[in-house]
């Protein structure tokens, strides 16, 4: 891994624009940095910045096989708009194979295990086998209490890489102001009551007054998929 003083980088980049942070990542990490997008509004902002400024940052998404049709359509729209390729990273098992191993609709019975199989393990494989030193995320501090202490640059001990969060200081309004000002493509589901969009079986619309992530894993007592913050099951597995 490239030698970077993470604490110093985090302090110096705090308050800088997302573009400046992305340019810093490109300068210091070159082809060894990647962006994993889930095609949320925040991810679309970062793809816009990367694409319009021709930054040499690898792009991929975790194609779980159960994304919304609207998400797949947005994927292709972004590639066409910005002239980029967003690689698909697939789980080791198809949905049919997963059903044979764990039973059908695993997400209804054990959503943590389903996320582990279709998101966490594929992400680990993509990051550790791709020759990357750092990965970029679209998380923001105000999204959840678990993300409130996230830094612009921080070590990701789970994957053994640097984690770069260019939008970490932005608000929900900052994100949408950028989208409207720059005519950034976004998921049409946002206009149908879905502020946070994941896999189709585990995402529902919210009603006015609910937290913006209330529609994720509704009724399951689950807040995170395990990519950025450990699930209770993952926490129990720590030595």
Q: Return d(Cα 202, Cα 119) in angstroms, integer.
A: 13
Report CA-CA distances (Å) from 79 to 10, 130, 200, 219. 30, 21, 22, 35
Of 43, 54, 50, 42, the C-alpha closest to 21 is 50
User: Is 115 among the catalytic positions?
Assistant: no
- Which residue has 């993470």 as its token pair? 6
Cα pseudo-dihedral 10, 15, 16, 18, rounded to 10: 90
Of the residues 44, 199, 202, 225, only one is catalytic, namely: 225
Active centre residues (catalytic):
225
């Amino acid at each position: 891994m490239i030698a970077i003083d993470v604490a110093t980088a985090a302090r110096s980049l705090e308050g800088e624009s997302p573009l400046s942070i992305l340019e810093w990542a490109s300068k210091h990490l070159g082809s060894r940095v990647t962006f994993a997008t889930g095609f949320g509004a925040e991810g679309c902002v970062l793809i816009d910045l990367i694409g319009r400024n021709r930054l040499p940052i690898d792009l991929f998404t975790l194609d779980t096989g159960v994304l919304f049709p609207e998400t797949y359509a947005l994927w292709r729209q972004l590639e066409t708009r910005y002239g980029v390729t967003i690689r698909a990273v697939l789980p080791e098992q198809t949905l049919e194979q997963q059903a044979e191993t764990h039973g059908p609709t695993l997400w209804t019975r054990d959503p943590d295990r389903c996320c582990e199989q279709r998101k966490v393990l594929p992400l680990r494989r993509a990051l550790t086998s791709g020759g990357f030193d750092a990965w970029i995320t679209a998380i923001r501090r105000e999204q959840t209490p678990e993300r409130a202490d996230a830094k612009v640059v921080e070590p990701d001990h789970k994957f053994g890489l640097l984690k770069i969060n260019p939008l970490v200081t932005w608000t929900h309004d900052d994100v949408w102001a950028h989208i409207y000002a720059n005519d950034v493509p976004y998921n049409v589901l946002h206009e149908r009551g879905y502020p946070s969009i994941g896999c189709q079986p585990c995402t529902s619309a919210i009603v006015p007054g609910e937290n913006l992530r209330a529609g994720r894993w509704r009724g399951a007592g689950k807040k995170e998929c395990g990519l950025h913050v450990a699930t209770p099951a993952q926490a129990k597995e720590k030595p």
